[in-house]
C-alpha cells in the first residue's frame, strides 16, 4: 500500500523520543517503585476553581460547536492579558485559540513553511520540534547551544546557519530542556537578524510564568519593531497545572491570523467552549499557582546541585526557569540513553537521556523537578551512588 511521504519524514520522531519515559511508566503500572523524573508535568493537580469553572460552563450548556478563531470570552481575556503585559494594544484579531501549544506550533509552522524551507532552531530542543518542522515539509537546522553561554541562543550562531532557503527562526524562551531565558538584548539581536533576512520568528513561551528566583521574562513580542514577523504560542498547561485540558493559543500579526484561520478551521474548527470559558478565567488570574511551582522547582534544582555537582565527575546545570535541570554525565558515559536505562534498572530512578533533545545534549540527562522534595533527595542519593560505582 502507498503512504504519504510525511509518514517517513516523521518516523522515529514521535513516541520513540520517549523510550525511557515509557519504560518507566510501564514499571510504575506494574507496581514497581520508580522515582519518575522524566516528564514535565506540574507538581500540583489542576486547581479546583478551574475545574469548577469548566463544570459550571458545561452545566450552563457550553458544550456546542465553537469557531475556528476562539470563543469571544477567551479572545477578550487574551487581548487584555497581552495588552497589559506588553504595554500596548494587542487586539482580539491577533489571536487564534487551539488545543495546547503543540497544536498551536503545528498550525504556525504549516502556515509559514513549505517543502524545501529551512527552520533554524536550537540544539538541544524540545523533543517534538523536529517532527513539527518536518510535518510542514521544512527542514530543521540546528544551532548548537553552548554551556559556556548558559545555553542561550546567540544571534551570531544563528547567522552562520541562514541560507536562501531559511524561512523562520524557532525559539523557546524559557527553554526546554535547559531552562535558559533569552534577555531583551538577545531577543533584539535575533529580531534584527530576522528583519535583515526577512524571516519569521516563532516563539514557544509556555514556561513564561515559571521563572525562578524572580528572574524577569521577556516575550519575543515585547519589542514592537519586530511584531510584524513574530508569532507566539503558549497555553495554560504548565502555568495553571492543566496539561490535560489542552488549551492554548497563538498571537501574531493580524494578517498571519487571517491567513492561518482557514487552516485552523480545516484542522479542528474550534475548541470546546467550556474549556475556553475556564481558560479565560485562568489567563486573567494572578500567576500565583505558577509562582509557587517555580519556587518549589528552583529549590529542587538547588537540592540536585548541592547533592550531585562535582560528585564522581558529575556537573549540574541549574535552570533560570521551567521544570528541569540538566546533569552532565560526560565523564561517565557518552551514551545518555544507555546510562539512563542502566540508572533505571539499577536504582529505579528514571531521567530523560539528553540525546532525546538533540545531539548537542548527548552525555547529559534531563531531570524533571516535579517530584516531591523527599523523592528528589532520595533520587539524588541513588544517582550519587550509581555515579560513584561507575567512576570506581
For 83-135, write each residue's pLDDT tens digit. 999 999 999 999 999 999 999 999 999 999 999 999 999 999 999 999 999 99
Q: How many CA atoms lie within 13 Å of 206's alpha carbon, on the beta-carbon side?
A: 28
Look at the chain and count its residues. Answer: 392
d(CA 389, CA 81): 51
d(CA 108, CA 87): 25
CB within 8 Å of 226: residues ≥ 6 apart: 191, 194, 195, 201, 220
The answer, yes or no, to whether residue 388 has pLDDT greater than 80, is: yes
CB 385 within 8 A of CB 343: no
Q: Mean pLDDT, to the nearest integer, of 29-43? A: 94
| Chain CA centroid to CA 318, Å | 17
The sign of the torsion formed by the CA atoms of 381, 383, 386, 388 equals negative
Burial 5-25 (b: 16+ CB within 10 A, else e): eeeebeeebeeebbebbebbb
For 135-194, write each residue's pLDDT tens digit. 999 999 999 999 999 999 999 999 999 999 999 999 999 999 999 999 999 999 999 999
Predicted pLDDT at 109:
98
d(CA 238, CA 43): 10
Nearest C-alpha neighbor of 359 from the set 172, 152, 127: 127
d(CA 134, CA 120): 12
CA dist list (Å): 351 to 48, 127, 274, 333, 338? 30, 14, 36, 15, 11
Q: Mean pLDDT, to the nearest integer, of 360-374? A: 97
- Global pTM? 0.96
For 260-285, write each residue's pLDDT tens digit. 999 999 998 888 999 999 999 999 99
CB 204 within 8 A of CB 109: no
Report CA dihedral (82, 88, 92, 97) to the nearest 10 degrees. -30
Diameter over CA atoms, the chain? 65
Predicted pLDDT at 16:
77
d(CA 326, CA 337): 14
Query: For residue 165, how many other CB atoms are within 10 A of its CB?
Result: 12
Nearest C-alpha neighbor of 142 from the set 126, 131, 158: 158
CA dist list (Å): 25 to 8, 297, 368? 27, 22, 15
d(CA 199, CA 119): 10
Query: For residue 91, how many other CB atoms are within 10 A of its CB?
Result: 12
Predicted pLDDT at 130:
95
Q: Mean pLDDT, to the nearest integer, of 353-373? A: 97
C-alpha cell recorded at residue 325: 535541570
C-alpha cell recorded at residue 266: 480545516
Please name each of the domains of the chain with its CATH number.
Answer: 5-45+288-391 (3.90.1150.10), 48-284 (3.40.640.10)
Predicted pLDDT at 14:
74
For 198-235, write each residue's pLDDT tens digit. 999 999 999 999 999 999 999 999 999 999 999 999 99
Burial 200-239 (b: 16+ CB within 10 A, else e): bbbbbbbbbbbbbeeeebbbbbbbeebbebbbbbbbbbbb
C-alpha cell recorded at residue 99: 488545543
For 302-345, write each residue's pLDDT tens digit. 999 999 999 999 999 999 999 999 999 999 999 999 999 999 99
The answer, yes or no, to whether residue 239 has pLDDT greater than 80, is: yes
CA angle 243, 186, 101 (to 5 degrees): 15
For 105-117, write each residue's pLDDT tens digit. 999 999 999 999 9
CA dist list (Å): 253 to 192, 229, 257, 260, 345? 17, 7, 6, 11, 50
d(CA 245, CA 172): 22
Amino acid at each position: 500500500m502507498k503512504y504519504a511521504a510525511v509518514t517517513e519524514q516523521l518516523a522515529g520522531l514521535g513516541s520513540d523520543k520517549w523510550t525511557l519515559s515509557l519504560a518507566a511508566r510501564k514499571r510504575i503500572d506494574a507496581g514497581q517503585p520508580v522515582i519518575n523524573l522524566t516528564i514535565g508535568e506540574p507538581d500540583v493537580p489542576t486547581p479546583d476553581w478551574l475545574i469548577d469553572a469548566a463544570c459550571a460552563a458545561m452545566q450552563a450548556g457550553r458544550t456546542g460547536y465553537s469557531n475556528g478563531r476562539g470563543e469571544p470570552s477567551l479572545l477578550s481575556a487574551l487581548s487584555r492579558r497581552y495588552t497589559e503585559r506588553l504595554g500596548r494594544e494587542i487586539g482580539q484579531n491577533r489571536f487564534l485559540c487551539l488545543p495546547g501549544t503543540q497544536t498551536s506550533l503545528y498550525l504556525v509552522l504549516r502556515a509559514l513553511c513549505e517543502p524545501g524551507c529551512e527552520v533554524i532552531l536550537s540544539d538541544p530542543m524540545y523533543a517534538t520540534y523536529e517532527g513539527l518542522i518536518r510535518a510542514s515539509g521544512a527542514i530543521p537546522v540546528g544551532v548548537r547551544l553552548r554551556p559556556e553561554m548558559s545555553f542561550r541562543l546567540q544571534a551570531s550562531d544563528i547567522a552562520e546557519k541562514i541560507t536562501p532557503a531559511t524561512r523562520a527562526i524557532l525559539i523557546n524562551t524559557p527553554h526546554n530542556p535547559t531552562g535558559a531565558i533569552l534577555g531583551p538584548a538577545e531577543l533584539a539581536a535575533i529580531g534584527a537578524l530576522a528583519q535583515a533576512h526577512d524571516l519569521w520568528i516563532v516563539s514557544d513561551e509556555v514556561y513564561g510564568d515559571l521563572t525562578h528566583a524572580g528572574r524577569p521574562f521577556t516575550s519575543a513580542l515585547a519589542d514592537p519593531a519586530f511584531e510584524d514577523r513574530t508569532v507566539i504560542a503558549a497555553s495554560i498547561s504548565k502555568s495553571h497545572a492543566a496539561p490535560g485540558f489542552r488549551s492554548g493559543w497563538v498571537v501574531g500579526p493580524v494578517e498571519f491570523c487571517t491567513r492561518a484561520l482557514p487552516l485552523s478551521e480545516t484542522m479542528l474548527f474550534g475548541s470546546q467552549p467550556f474549556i475556553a470559558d475556564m481558560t479565560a478565567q485562568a489567563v486573567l488570574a494572578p500567576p500565583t499557582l505558577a509562582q509557587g511551582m517555580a519556587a518549589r522547582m528552583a529549590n529542587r534544582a538547588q537540592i540536585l546541585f548541592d547533592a550531585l555537582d562535582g560528585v564522581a565527575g558529575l556537573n549540574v546545570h541549574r535552570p533560570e526557569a521551567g521544570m528541569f535541570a540538566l546533569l552532565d554525565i560526560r565523564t561517565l558515559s557518552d551514551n545518555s540513553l544507555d546510562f539512563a536505562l542502566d540508572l533505571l534498572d539499577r536504582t529505579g530512578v528514571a531521567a530523560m537521556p539528553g540525546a532525546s533533545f538533540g545531539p548537542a545534549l548527548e552525555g547529559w540527562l534531563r531531570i524533571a523537578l516535579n517530584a516531591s522534595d523527599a523523592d528528589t533527595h532520595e533520587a539524588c542519593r541513588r544517582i550519587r551512588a550509581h555515579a560513584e560505582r561507575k567512576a570506581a
